[in-house]
Amino acid sequence: MPSPSFITRLRRADWDPLHWLRLGFLVTSRALTRLWGRDVMLFTGGVSFFAMLAIFPTLAILIGLFSVLADPAQAIREGEALSTLIPAGARDLLLHELTRLVNTPHLAMSTQSGVALIIAIYASHRGFKALLAGLSFIHDEDEPHGFFRFNLIAFLVLVGTFAALAIISSIFFTLRILGSAFELRPLRGVSWLLSEWTWASAGLTLGLTLIYRFVMSRRPVVWPASVIGGVVAAAMCLFASWAIAFYVEGVAHLGATYGSLATVIVFLIWLSWNVNAIFFGGALATEVELAIAATAPKPSIPDLRGAKVVVPRSGASRSRS
């Protein structure tokens, strides 16, 4: 049953659509001003570089696990399904690397996976440090974390991200494998549930919401602001995949300029656009939190008129002593 205070807030709320449209436009413009008014390009470049440095060693680790637990060729099939989230130019680079790793001998693959693990942990940790530093900078954090605490938080976020990716991808791949191997169609007519776009959207929204809520600031950001920032950032990340594909294939033909490096350039552009989307989500969450705090009811000041003033009898107590 709703509490009386909740019902009172609902009655006092302004349900005019124009009011919410103006408020949304104002908050969005302030978020853009917050993002553009701070030089976050250094953080964007750092995150993009370390993400690209970590992604291929991570592929080597995954192929090594597949070679022990399952058929490595299955990684190619699942990689092709996930590669639809990446622009065409970067997709070719990813699939080429997957094919090369699958055809690598098992002994060499085991040694390569061990080396790749060290590189992936180092690069991923540095990338998350750059990401969290950028979000704290955007949030105007006045009490930054200490050296040890900041590195520990970045490592915990790294472990949590990989654990979430492992769980979500395991559920996604299990559903697809069961559906194709045993022709199971328990949810016939809702094919979007088995789409990689659906799972990517849900995973990004959940992960970014938790990062905005607990990691962006020493004090937890309110849930409504974290959720709005997470949803918008996830939508922008997915939109970036389509936008960079349209830009590369229909507007700028990078192959004529960069030659064989065009694939790497496309991949870096895609990473930087995604990082900027995450930073914009942090700026939006910050501005939404400020807007919520500005509209919150102020505590009433008690009326002390007519109250009796009590003066301590310090002189009398001193004379008795």
pLDDT score at 200 = 85
SS3 track for 302-315: CCCCCCCCCCCCHH
pLDDT score at 43 = 95
pTM of the model: 0.82
pLDDT score at 28 = 96
Q: What is the pLDDT of residues 263-287, one digit of tens each?
A: 788 888 889 999 999 999 999 999 9
pLDDT score at 186 = 52
Domain residue ranges in the chain? 29-294
* Low-confidence spans in the chain with pLDDT less than 70: 1-14, 60, 62-83, 85, 88-90, 101-102, 104-113, 176-194, 250-256, 297-321
Q: What is the pLDDT of residues 91-141, one digit of tens each?
A: 777 777 777 766 766 655 566 667 778 888 899 999 999 999 999 999 988
pLDDT score at 316 = 47
